[in-house]
Structure 1
Amino acid sequence: MKNELFERWMQQGNVTVPKMLLTHYSRIGLSETECMLILQLHSFLEDGNVFPTPSELSERMTIDVNQTLSFMRVFIQKGFLSIQSIEDKDRGVYAEKYSLQPLWNRLLSELGEEQHNERVNDVKDRKNNIFVMFETEFGRPLSPMEIETVNIWMDEDNHPSEMIGAALKEGVLAGKLNFRYIDRILFEWKKAGVITVEQARVHGEKFRTRQQRAQPRSADYASKKDSLSLPAYNWLDS
């Protein structure tokens, strides 16, 4: 008996509940009661009842007809709900229907703004990390001109923060801690199509290996080659 009752309930159909409403309703100023009323209205619309009465809505809620009507007015005032005219071509008359499209647009706008703010904060965090890296390696605070240079690398030249960090490491390896040297490294990487830290590492190793092979191989150098590390590539000479 219980299984038959459950099956009859399931045959009544399901309502697709927008997840963005459930997770963000409070951000646009909706209370739990208001959110549930919107879900009930959404359910009526999906079932084909495009203009349910306050009485029909309140029957599914714990609020009376007057409260339901008051909430519906607030939804319209806040731009969450609109009333549209539709033509019944068979009868030649016009009717009205509710639309929740303004609410969905508002939620999408909120989500877009949230994602934008997340991207802005992410950029700020990456910039702050880069500044810390430079100040740590340079052993001093960066000058306003140096800070502006880093900003230009990221905002105008579109160098990813990880690539700027990799170029800084190349400068450290070469013992050339100056912005002109690092800028030249970034320029050479971009020209060569180097876009990842791993590619930069391989690119640098190839240059250093080539430079090592070009050096005179004296007997003294040959006897010590196993204990020597590869010399740093001088990017300013490229």
Structure 2
Amino acid sequence: MLVQLLFLKGKSILQFNDYRALGFTTLQNGLIAYYPRLNISDAELLLIIQLEAFNQRGESFPSNEKIAANTNLSVTDVGNLIQRLIDRNYLTIEQTTDDQDKIGNKYSLNKLYDALDQYIDQNILIKDDKKDKTVAVTNNLGNNPLNYLSRKVEVEFGRYLSPIEREEIAQWLSVDHYDPEIIELALREAVLSQAYSLKYIDRVLLNWQRHNLKTPEEVERFLKRNR
């Protein structure tokens, strides 16, 4: 893809739409908000962002040179940061095998996100106005439905969601305007049917929509009649 350049006063400037053509990187808001609580430095966060960006573009084991080229860090700095994250069990190197049985490596940040989830579960509280008390943020569907539902799906599916899957859940909330509790009920139906895919959940939601079911109570009554 050719990138159109504008030249102004001898300098090349990329237009905003040109930057958009380079794509986007999805990063958990929880990581941005609480990385200092995990004793992650700004430089380490920058490295994590780069690893996520490469991984979401399909390159799961970028070289230190490639990472350094995207930052103000030296190759040595990148190597040291990677080792620090590995030493603290936030980053692991896993072995992979492709379709031709070729063995390779990939970086995994799963341990980091496990630590982040544990920190949020144990430390982050919000005010529940209905019950006049504080409750754990991850146990509250109304506080952040997208994060709650994404985590719920990940637990039930036994794997992390891709950025595309997370975007699909976001569209259920913002575009289709499904009640978060109804989405959770649809997830329950998928698990009961051992159908661990968002496509199945989407079909369930569409079916309930065709039956004009708008509240969790209506869905529960519908399910009870059709068991």
Q: 1 or 2 for the larger relative contact order (CA 8 Å, sep ≥6)?
A: 1
Structure 1 or 2: larger strand share? 2
The alignment's TM-score, normalised by the length of structure 1, stands at 0.46
Structure 1 or 2: larger helix share? 1
